[in-house]
Structure 1
Amino acid sequence: MRAADRKFDPSPEALSAIEVEWPLIEAELSLLDAEITLIHAADHGGPSPLDWRRLRRAEARVTRLAADLAARPAAFREVA
């Protein structure tokens, strides 16, 4: 790999931050998937009670993980 190519690679600090935030990122992706399911269901008779439950659970998970991440000391968020 050339040195010029390496300047675009993420730094170890950036990779560490992504690793710390990954549970929240994953939860946000699940929420997005639940929202897309609701939109798609609108064209096919409407969302089912299970679709709505999935959305509520995904929202709650995002909220919980965001609060947990925000409650961590800044030094831990950057290093962990």
Structure 2
Amino acid sequence: MRKNVEGGPSPADLSAIEAEWPLIEAELSLLDAEIANIYAAEHGGPSPLDWRRLRRAEARVTRVAAELAARPAALREVA
């Protein structure tokens, strides 16, 4: 990550983060679902709803990653 004169991220860096934000958000949701299942495993086991939440989060990560990969090459270079 390049830093601008003030020491923060450059406009290009911020643009890349913004372009990848849907994937970052999907991965955070997956992490939350995985943590919930680990916690549930220690307290009687994950419920069917916990497993569904995990599967949906995994599917969302896959879907968003595919959408990002399908972008034109010029847009992927920014991201």
Higher relative contact order (CA 8 A, sep 6+): 1
Quick one: distance in 2 between partners of 1:53 and 1:74? 34
| Shift in Å, 1:12 | 0.4
1:12 aligns with 2:11: yes
Matched positions, count: 75
**Any runs of at least 4 consecutive aligned residues in structure 1 with deviations exceeding 3 A, and if so which?**
none
| Shift in Å, 1:42 | 0.6
Report which of the two structures shows the higher radius of gyration computed on alpha carbons. 1
| Runs of 5+ consecutive residues of structure 2 not aligned to the other structure | none
Identity %: 78
1:34 aligns with 2:30: no
TM-score, length-scaled by structure 1: 0.87
TM-score, length-scaled by structure 2: 0.88
Structure holding more helix per residue: 1
| Runs of 5+ consecutive residues of structure 1 not aligned to the other structure | none
Read off the aligned partner of 2:47 and give its amino acid letter: S
**Could you say what the CA RMSD is over the residues aligned between the two structures, in angstroms?**
1.7
Quick one: distance in 2 between partners of 1:18 and 1:73? 17
| Shift in Å, 1:74 | 2.3
